[in-house]
Amino acid sequence: MTNHTAKTQAFRELHVPGKPFILANAWDIGSARVLAKLGAKAIATSSAAHAFTLGVTDGHVTGEQAVNHAKDLNAAVDLPVNGDFENGFGVDIDNVVSTINASLDAGLAGCCIEDTAVPTGESYDFDHALERIEAAVQAIRQHENDFVLTARADGVMLGNYDTNEAIRRLQAYEAAGADVLYAPMLPSIEDLARVCAAVGVPVNALCAGKFTQYTVADFANIGVARISLGSALARVTHKAMLDAANPMFSNGDLSLLKRGAGGGEVDRLLSR
């Protein structure tokens, strides 16, 4: 069994409805290794968190940059790595197919494909959104290696359509062959429960914003199989920097620097 095959098989087996695992979104090699040492079972990229490391905002990273970043994380850890690949880095079906092929060539265990244009935030019409997922599935089937495709319905999060439309899209993506379904930031956990009940494949939930009030057990109780962090953990690190740097530069108060992790502890976590 190749390393790629073993990682993908392990990733697929983690997806059990009602027994969710945390898909830990990292933003560089260091954070990926630390998260792995702390107990993560799989690593994902985050389009926003990666963009922050490049000094740009979400939606302004190229497909080549994103895939190479994911490839670097995959080489750095012994865990499955999933790519957050936005809309496949283009409107056309060919863009999606190219992204899928590049993901497989990079040895990734899976990736997400959204139904929304980047960075404008306009959702594709139903037929085009479905065609893109169908093309992704067909591209995967042309390869010998297994690959976990997550199909996303982002329109609720962006205010473009409601939960009913998200369910209609996710059911169509499931019928097309998507392995995991994902509608981030639904209006409520009750809406998320509706999604889980309406489909027959694993559902990913985003733990950000209002959903941070819930526990892993709460997500398990409604049938979620995977919990993504998105850019939330990266934003926690940015908040720590803001909290320490603002008083430092405004009035010379350096006291919050004492909250940093010890060098020895970090060195231990960074080791392979």
Q: Which domain holds residue 14?
A: 3-233
Domain presence at residue 268: no
| Tens-place pLDDT, residues 157-199 | 999 999 999 999 999 999 999 999 999 999 999 999 999 999 9
pLDDT score for 177: 98
What percent of the chain shows pLDDT beyond 90?
A: 93
Taking Cα atoms as reference points, which of 222, 158, 178 lies closest to residue 196? Answer: 222
> Does 260 map to a domain?
no
Residue 75 placed within a domain = yes
Instruction: Tell me whether residue 210 is in a domain.
Output: yes
Structural domain contains residue 272? no
206 within a domain of the structure (yes/no): yes
181 strand-pairing partners: 151, 203
Residues 126 and 88 sit within 8 Å (Cβ to Cβ): no
Angstrom CA distances, 125 to 130, 158, 175, stand at 9, 14, 17
Record the tokens describing residue 170, joined without a space: 């996710």
Task: Read off the CATH number of the domain in which 41 is found.
Answer: 3.20.20.60
pLDDT digits (tens, 9 = 90+) for 196-235: 999 999 999 999 999 999 999 999 999 999 999 999 999 9
The answer to whether residue 270 scores a pLDDT higher than 90 is: no
pLDDT at 1: 65
> Tell me, what's the pLDDT at 158?
97
Inside any domain, residue 180: yes
The domain total for the chain is 1
In a domain, 266, yes or no: no
